[in-house]
Amino acid sequence: MALLKNCYALRSVLRAIPNRPVGHSAILLKSEDRKSMLSSLPTKDEGTVGERLMGMDALISKRDRFFPDANTPTALFNGIPFNEIPICNIRVSPNNTIITICDAKGTPQLIRSCGIEGFKNTRKGTNIAAQATAISICTKAIERGYKNVRVTIRGLGPGRMSAIKGLEMAGINIVSITDTTRVSWNPPRPRKQRKL
C-alpha cells in the first residue's frame, strides 16, 4: 500500500514538470549557455586597454624631455617642483619585495612588503605578490594625499616591473623611474676547478 502511495506521489510530481525532449536537452542548454557567455564577453581585451605603447623612434625624437638636466629639480610636475615630490623606494630581491614611500627629504612614511601583505615562503618572491603589495601601499598613499611619486628601484628579482605596474594600476602618477641597482666592479674570483 505504501508503495502504491509513493507511485501516485511520483506521478503527480512528474506531471508538474513541463514536457521537453530528454535526450538532447542538456546539449541544447550547454550551447545556449555558451552563446550567452560569448555575447557577454567584452570585445576588447580589458587588461590591455590602459597600456601605453610608444615606439623607439618616438622616444628618440623626444629624448630631451626624458633625460634630466640642470633645470630638472625646479621643473614643475602638476604644480609641485621635482625635488619636493615624494619618493617610492622599491627593494627587490629573489625572495621578497619591499616598498617604502618617503617624503621628499627621505623620511619613511609608509612601508609594505610581500610578507606583511600575507604572502608566505616562496610566494613572497613572485611578481603577483609585488603587484599586490604596490597596489595596497598606493591606496594608503592616495588616502594620505600623495598623487605624484618618483620611483627608485634597486635589486634584481621577479617583482621589478610588476611593482611599477601595480603603482600605476593603483592610480598614482609616476614622474620618474631611477634604477639604483648596485653593480660590482670587483667580482669574486671564480671557483677552483674540480679535481678528479
Q: What is the pLDDT of residues 4-62, one digit of tens each?
A: 555 556 566 556 555 555 444 444 455 666 677 667 665 555 444 444 544 545 545 55
Q: Is residue 151 part of a domain?
A: yes
**Binning pLDDT at 50, 70 and 90, where does residue 165 land?**
very high
Domain membership of residue 136 as a residue range = 81-179
Please state, for a pLDDT cut of 90, what percent of the chain lies above it: 38
Q: Considering only CA atoms, which of 163, 175, 170 is closest in space to residue 104? A: 175
Dihedrals φ, ψ of 171, to 5°?
100, 15
- The residue with greater pLDDT, 75 or 43, is 75
Q: What's the pLDDT score for residue 67?
A: 75
For the question of whether the overall pTM of this predicted structure is more than 0.75, the answer is no
**DSSP classification of residue 50:** T
Q: Is residue 46 part of a domain?
A: no
**DSSP classification of residue 187:** P
Q: Is residue 73 part of a domain?
A: no
Q: Is residue 153 part of a domain?
A: yes
Q: Is residue 169 part of a domain?
A: yes
Dihedrals φ, ψ of 14, to 5°?
-65, -30
Q: What's the pLDDT score for residue 106?
A: 87
Start-to-end C-alpha separation, the chain: 91
Q: Is residue 152 part of a domain?
A: yes
CB atoms near residue 114 (< 10 Å): 26
- For residue 148, the domain's CATH number is 3.30.420.80
C-alpha cell at 50: 590602459
pLDDT tens, residue by residue, 127-157 = 999 999 999 999 999 999 999 999 999 999 8
Dihedrals φ, ψ of 177, to 5°?
-125, 125
Q: Is residue 162 part of a domain?
A: yes
Q: Is residue 20 part of a domain?
A: no
Establish how many alpha carbons lie within 13 A of residue 119's alpha carbon, considering only the half-sphere containing its beta carbon: 21
Q: How far apart are CA 134 and CA 165, in angstroms?
A: 8
Backbone torsion region of residue 118, taken as left when φ is above 0, otherwise alpha when ψ lies between -120 and 50, otherwise beta: left
Q: How many domains does the chain have?
A: 1
